[in-house]
């Protein structure tokens, strides 16, 4: 049982920067700087490529927060040894933070592209993809640094797939997010 708990803690700790990268853009919608959609409002086959909610500001803020989170994890690594998926003393926090942040936001961007092709309106729930898109993107890019076990990936999808809607509901209740999910 201790091994299962250690896996859950290690996976949560490792992917926390990706989760923060996924949440951070919502907190900075008040900032007009770089509020340009990454698709420049262009369309593909008569539909938005990604949509207006996917902005350069969101990517920049998300990646910065992921890098800062990895840097903080690196600072407290001596106290967290044994509960991590990698040795943070031998990790480039800028590189890993970028991979986790860009992976999370890139996964969300890819999902938005698919949603627009399927004519699913912005803000509508597309379960389970809305819950796991960002974590799968983070797994994909961070696998350049970490050799994951399949159980790590499954645990990440379960943990964050369950936490994602709960966090969204809290954000909605606090009027930080416009949509519940």
Q: Is 70 helix (H, G, I), strand (E, B) or coil?
A: helix
Residue 33: what pLDDT?
85
179 within a domain of the structure (yes/no): no
Using the predicted structure, report yes or no on whether residue 150 has a pLDDT greater than 90.
yes
Residue 43 bridge partners (DSSP):
48
Residue 177: what pLDDT?
67
Give the range of the structural domain holding residue 41, as residue numbers without chain letter.
Answer: 2-173
158 within a domain of the structure (yes/no): yes
98 within a domain of the structure (yes/no): yes
Distance CA 167, CA 181 (A): 9
Using the predicted structure, report yes or no on whether residue 16 has a pLDDT greater than 90.
yes
Residue 73 has a CB neighbour count (10 Å cut-off) of 21
Distance CA 83, CA 102 (A): 24
pLDDT digits (tens, 9 = 90+) for 82-112: 788 999 989 999 999 999 999 999 999 999 9
Residue 5 bridge partners (DSSP):
none
Residue 173: what pLDDT?
76
181 within a domain of the structure (yes/no): no
Q: What is the signed CA dihedral for 96, 102, 104, 107, rounded to 10 degrees?
A: -140
Confidence category of residue 121, pLDDT binned at 50, 70, 90: confident
180 within a domain of the structure (yes/no): no
Using the predicted structure, report yes or no on whether residue 169 has a pLDDT greater than 90.
no
The Cα-based distances of 74 to 31, 60, 77, 111 in angstroms read: 29, 21, 5, 31
Task: Provide mean pLDDT across the span 116-144.
Answer: 92
44 within a domain of the structure (yes/no): yes
DSSP state for residue 26 in the 8-state scheme: H
Distance CA 74, CA 18 (A): 15
Residue 167: what pLDDT?
78
Question: What is the token pair recorded at 102?
Answer: 């860009």
45 within a domain of the structure (yes/no): yes
What's the maximum distance between 2 C-alpha atoms anywhere in the chain? 53
How many domains is the chain built from? 1
């Amino acid at each position: 049982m201790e091994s299962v708990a250690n896996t859950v803690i290690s996976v949560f700790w490792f992917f926390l920067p990706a989760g923060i990268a996924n949440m951070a853009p919502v907190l900075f919608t008040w900032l007009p700087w770089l509020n340009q959609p990454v698709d420049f409002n262009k369309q593909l086959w008569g539909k938005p490529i990604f949509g207006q909610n996917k902005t350069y500001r969101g990517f920049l803020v998300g990646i910065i927060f992921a890098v800062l989170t990895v840097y903080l994890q690196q600072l407290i690594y001596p106290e967290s040894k044994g509960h991590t998926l990698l040795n943070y003393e031998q990790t480039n926090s800028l590189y890993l933070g970028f991979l986790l942040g860009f992976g999370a936001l890139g996964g969300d961007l890819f999902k938005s592209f698919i949603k627009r092709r399927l004519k699913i309106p912005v803000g509508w729930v597309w379960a389970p993809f809305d819950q796991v898109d960002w974590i799968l993107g983070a797994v994909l890019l961070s696998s350049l640094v970490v050799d994951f076990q399949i159980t790590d990936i499954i645990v990440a999808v379960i943990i964050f797939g369950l936490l994602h809607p709960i966090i969204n509901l809290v954000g909605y209740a606090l009027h930080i997010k416009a949509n519940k999910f």
